[in-house]
Amino acid sequence: MLDLKFVRENPELVKAGIAKRNDHTDIDKILELDSKRREIIRTVEQLKSDKNKASGEIAQKKKAGEDASAAITRMREVGEKIGALDNELRTVEEEMNSILVWVPNIPHESVPVGADESANVVVREWGEIPKPDFTVLPHWEIGEKLGILDMAAAAKISGSGFYLLKGLGARLQRALVSYMLDTHSADGFTEMAAPFIVNADTMFGTGQLPKLEADMYKTTEDNMYLIPTAEVPITNYFKQQIIDYKQLPIYMVGHSPCFRREAGAAGKDTRGMIRVHQFEKVEMVKIVHPDSSYDELESLLLQAEKILQGLKIPYRVCNLASGDLSFAAAKCYDIELWAAGVKRYLEISSVSNFEDFQARRMNCRFRDEDKKMRHPHTLNGSGVALARLIPAVLENYQNADGTITVPEVLRPYMGGIENIG
């Protein structure tokens, strides 16, 4: 959420910022309601001040045994006026907030301006795209052939958009999760195992609600949501908290399933594991001092890249254009890895700086060196998503004889197995 004061003082900057994202939230309406709000506050607080004074006088009179009934009658009327104005104030504030919570974050100045992903800028590429002398099968074919991936079974059990791994396929997923968690932990990230089902307030905190309501699975009985990413429970660990600046920066990492309805995505990338309703992901979260958040963004990006470098899978990094940014992000890098079977780049990680957008929503603050209360900056980055990493391993490590070489870094986690098939 943007700071109301900031919106009030920099309306043109805010409008220009959201325009870059093709967002058309009515900023003028917010300003109009805000001025109405402040006008009511001025009136009602004057009345309250009078009331408090009169209350004191009534108490004095009663103590002295004097008659206070005239003042009491007068105050009864003032009380009613206050009640009416408080109601009006609440209505105005609710209306204002109902718009304010839909205002996306303002893109950072280093974000390329553009309407959609076609304006994304590739900032670097790593690794050589392999040119195998045989036909590399897409992961769903090689996976089925080796008996480690069963899409049909998943469809039978749950429906379309689910995958089922078995045998060494399941073990490969577990090995990847362990490899990633161990790598990040060794670099100072605290491992977290947080709830996968959260309340609405938590979903609001990281910016999923209200905007992404339709993309999430929701429980009907208890009004809870299945998390779309571990970012949600891990970042919200600091919801409603005051952190001492000496504790910053805070690095956390966690593994979770991610549940996504993918409403409206039907027909796009539907083959195999590439777009599914449930997938595993290792997620890194940082809570940092505002002064260092853009340096922290770069190092978080490198941390995610480290995983792919360890696996020796070629990738590229994109600086997302303003129109392609997610609701809460001020800047975001996507990492896309090369999948040799489907012969294209797959988005596998988003590394974002939310600045104080999430912290303000969560009411997470820190006391800085001068004892001032400030909002920290929050960042997160996939480190990385499994449902696209597994296909990349199955395709990039595929051999001409239909076997798959187990990447070296995973062998300790696979009981020393060097080949699947």
Partner RNA sequence: GGAGAGAUGGCCGAGCGGCUGAAGGCGGCGGAUUGCUAAUCCGUUAUAGGGCUAAUGGCUCUAUCCAGGGUUCGAAUCCCUGUCUCUCCGCCA
Q: Write out the two tokens for 99.
A: 């718009």
Nearer to RNA, 49 or 419 (CB): 49
Q: Are 324 and 318 in contact (CB under 8 A)?
A: no
CB of 193 to RNA, least distance (A): 14
Nearer to RNA, 41 or 99 (CB): 41
Task: Please state, in angstroms and rounded to a whole number, the distance separating the CA atoms of residues 151 and 144.
Answer: 8
Q: In what order do the strands lie in the sheet with 365-367?
A: 242-244, 365-367, 373-374
Candidate residues 72, 119, 243, 265; the one interacting with RNA per rule CB under 7 A? 72
Candidate residues 5, 24, 131, 246; the one interacting with RNA per rule CB under 7 A? 5
Nearer to RNA, 38 or 166 (CB): 38
Check binding of 393 to RNA (CB under 7 A): no
Q: Write out the two tokens for 231.
A: 């970012």
Please report, to the nearest 10 degrees, the dihedral formed by the alpha carbons of residues 184, 242, 351, 409 taken in order: 10
Q: In what order do the strands lie in the sheet with 278-288?
A: 121-126, 315-319, 331-339, 344-353, 377-385, 278-288, 250-259, 190-192
CB of 354 to RNA, least distance (A): 19
Of 43-51, 114-122, 279-287, 351-359: span binding RNA (CB under 7 A): 43-51
3-state secondary structure string across 209-239: CCCCHHHCCECCCCCCEECCCCHHHHHHHHC
Candidate residues 51, 174, 211, 261; the one interacting with RNA per rule CB under 7 A? 51
381: β partners: 284, 351
CB of 46 to RNA, least distance (A): 7
Candidate residues 29, 62, 124, 166; the one interacting with RNA per rule CB under 7 A? 62
Q: Are 383 and 252 in contact (CB under 8 A)?
A: no
Nearer to RNA, 47 or 417 (CB): 47
Residue span 73-102 as binding mask against RNA, x where in contact by CB under 7 A, dash where not: --xx-xx----------x------------
- The footprint of RNA on this chain (CB under 7 A) covers a number of residues equal to 31
Type of residue at 379? L
Nearer to RNA, 55 or 219 (CB): 55
Report the interface residues with RNA, using CB under 7 A: 4-5, 34, 38, 41-42, 45-46, 48-49, 51-56, 58-60, 62, 72, 75-76, 78-79, 90, 242, 365, 367, 371, 373
